[in-house]
Chains A and B, each alone.
Chain A
């Protein structure tokens, strides 16, 4: 099973700041990584697919990068609605797995 390790567990920033979230895979998954945003009481929402492609309707301030085992989600300038929990996910190898999440909180 591929383990996805996200860091940091919690990130405290202010609106307007830049956020950098990391996801590391226990073995190479190529570029087959997705990022999701989850707000309280809601289902996750797909932000990024194939490591660097924004899903439809996702603002340009969200970007993804990486391949192999190291991946990054960057939010260039935080908006109030961006404070949430973010998960990375892979399914290129079964079982599909999620990272444990990074909580982005307002400082």
Chain B
């Protein structure tokens, strides 16, 4: 059973950089293709931040692209999120997730999230 766990500071100062790590257990990060970050401001909906392939290629949502970097460290079975120049609008619960669902027959459906971390609240405040 794959498990994901987010870690990082819960409080970041305005104009600083938000840095989070997602540790994958129960399987190798190399065995799955895509790993994502999704965030959810308090009381609001879900926003896809970006994703990284285990080979290193990335996709970032356009509204955040200039501030986001996602990287992977296969040796530690981790992937990470850096979001620079943060403001109060970046306050949210940040989730890491695996994109790509295998059904009970082993067929692969690449567009959906099957495993998620429990989420970590990051507050941007001085």
Q: Closest 10 A-B residue pairs measured CB to CB? A: A43-B116, A91-B111, A98-B46, A95-B61, A34-B112, A96-B48, A49-B112, A100-B45, A101-B45, A49-B109
Given contacts A56-B103, A87-B46, A98-B48, A50 and B109 within 8 Å (CB-CB): yes
Q: How large is the interface on A (under 10, 10 to 19, 20 to 34, 35 or more residues)?
A: 20 to 34
Provide the main secondary structure of the chain B interface: strand
Which of B59, B62, B111, B118 contacts A34 (CB under 8 A)? B111
Total number of B residues with any Cβ neighbor in A under 8 Å: 25
Decide if B59 touches A56 in the complex (CB within 8 Å): no
Decide if A98 touches B47 in the complex (CB within 8 Å): yes
Residues of chain A at the chain B interface (Cβ within 8 Å): 1, 32, 34, 36, 38, 42-46, 49-50, 53, 55-56, 87, 89-92, 94-101
User: For the complex, what is the distance from the CA of A89 to the CA of B59, rounded to whole Å?
Assistant: 17
Q: Which residues of the partner chain A approach B79 to less than 8 Å between Cβ atoms?
A: none
Decide if B113 touches A56 in the complex (CB within 8 Å): no
